[in-house]
Structure 1
């Protein structure tokens, strides 16, 4: 059951990334990411409170900056070509491992 909730939360997040992530993750890009992440998280898990959504999205932004190269982030951001299944899977796994701990 926990895995299904994690997948439900991460799937819209992964789909939102092509519109939000930029190689630099500057303040504007991060703000856009945070807004899209919060919207996706709220839709995927309505029971999640605002504080938990904020923490999850901040964690996701940190993990993107930490775990992905500028080229990979640019690929996630490319609106004309979807990211590879491997890259999307790695993103979901990274966020799940680092950002979903303690959520039920």
Structure 2
């Protein structure tokens, strides 16, 4: 039971410290890395979990960006079509006025 307790405490400490600080500490051989190979393995596993979480967040953000881009592209196409219809209506109006003036 004591074996699981220190692992849980270590994970809680890692969560409290934050990924960037833990990664920097591991890269510089700081105090977190001391304490044996078991401790280092737990820290590495925790860092892998954090990487997976970050990649999942980035993938979700990318998907949102793509959906927004597609919506913007569709909106632009709709606006462009509306512009062309307005120009066609203007031309039809001018032709109608010209025909009306010629019959006078």
Answer with 1 or 2: which has the greater Rg.
2
TM-score relative to the length of structure 2: 0.23
The higher-RCO structure (CA 8 Å, 6+ apart) is 1
Q: Which has the higher helix share?
A: 2
TM-score scaled by length of structure 1: 0.23
